[in-house]
Structure 1
Amino acid sequence: MLDLGLFRRGTFTGVMIGALLLSGAAFSYFAYESLWLQSALGMGPVTAGLCFVPMSGAAFVTAGLGGRLLEDRVPPGAMIGGGLLLIAAGSALQMLVGAGSSWTVLVPGLLVSGVGVGLATPTLVSTAVAAVGYQRAGMASGAVNTARQLGNALGIAVLGVVFHAGLSSSVHGAGVPRPAAVTDALAAGQAQGVLAAGTPAQRPVLVHVVHAAFASGLRSAFLAAAVMGAVGGLAVLALVRRPGGGHGPAEQPRAEQAAVPVEA
């Protein structure tokens, strides 16, 4: 299903790394932002979902304009790598979230990440196909899509561990009773249950603890996402070349070249 020999080609390897880390860096933290928006800020599912529209809109506009204005002028490595670096910058911008923040603190980072997604995503499959040749176009496109799905799944798991660690650090530092149980409850989206368990006199303190814990967990997750995006962007910039530049379809193993019939 996948010829592992394709990974000898720098461009194909770079695209696969980019696809894997793009999904992890750009989308995996949505699960934990949704927890914060609904559990701590009290939004409904639809309202919380609408908070991510800035990223979707920026990605849609950028993909449309980028394909027309940049595709023939900018090398694919720069498109994908630059997009990943913008995703990293957008994740880092969202680290401004604090205990008193509302959802609007996420908007600048989501917009920057959306521009990065719009630049990088349309170019991934076309660059992978160009790197292996039309004979293996289906294999290349399938590999890229698989890498993106795998990156999202792994990203949610990795960011989940980091998010929980950030929650735990903040809760333990606040000195509340049974900090492990409180951390687990917040990670499960039960912030309102934590607040209801306290007395009226304790409620203001608990409200601050809950919001500070979510802010700490989110900052940790955003930092991890920013690192993923930066690593992916640098790897793509180092490995991906234009088709025909030493890593494209013309770069076929000698056995494959020998099998091509020569017309008289």
Structure 2
Amino acid sequence: MMRNLFSLENKTILITGGSGHLGSAMSEGLAKHGATVIIASKSKEKNCAFAAQLTEKYQTTCFGEYIDISNLESVNTCISSTIKAFGKIDVLVNNGYYGSSGKIEEMSEEIWKKGIDGSINTVFNCVHAILPHMMKQQSGNIINIASMYGTVSPDPSIYGDSGFNNPANYGAGKAAVIQFTKYLACHYGNKGIRANTISPGPFPSKTVQKNDEFIMNLSKKNPLGRIGSPSDLEGPIVFLASDASSYMTGQNIVVDGGWTAW
């Protein structure tokens, strides 16, 4: 019988922002393939309810947990308690994010820094907390969620007067996430730790999708002619979390329907 390369059985996976717009689809994909999934964010009640749904649906083990990724003490507490409960964390998915918006010429230093803090600095917090544990167990897999805007600039003509213009600090922070991931791969690969990024393309929220004109503009820009559905991220996250990608590290998988191929 052929071994299922994509099986996540016996893997404990911590995902931040795991009950959100994109996080919920990734959490479900991980649970579907047999992982023990710890869904962590500041919305513990929501996480616990979603974890219970996944546990019942896929007959696996999922838990909701609290974490404030902006607070290193909170991050350390969450990771330590998870390892105490399950003995290990095989995979960390840094999906949690918060940001701020505005035009560069109108943006205060505080607003700029908030966007940087919510992207790269939160990833640093989680990696900083988990690296000693992964080094001790001599194995680990870190998956950071970046963005296509970490590699290309938003096209101003797409956004027009929609009000959804993507701020400069978002792309700058996500570009930093991609580089930081490459650094991790190169400096900790000899300790059995892999690190890769997934860069989603146009995955607008349900609220944004109510703007038909904007969604039409996004779809026209894309070679596949449509926006992304959160379920489109299930395959890439399962691939990177599983042994199917065991010889991959330092890579950025862009899931954008071809947006960045133009």
TM-score, structure 2 normalization? 0.28
The structure with more helix, counted as a fraction of residues? 1
More strand by share: 2
What TM-score results when the alignment is normalised by the length of structure 1? 0.28
Bigger radius of gyration: 1
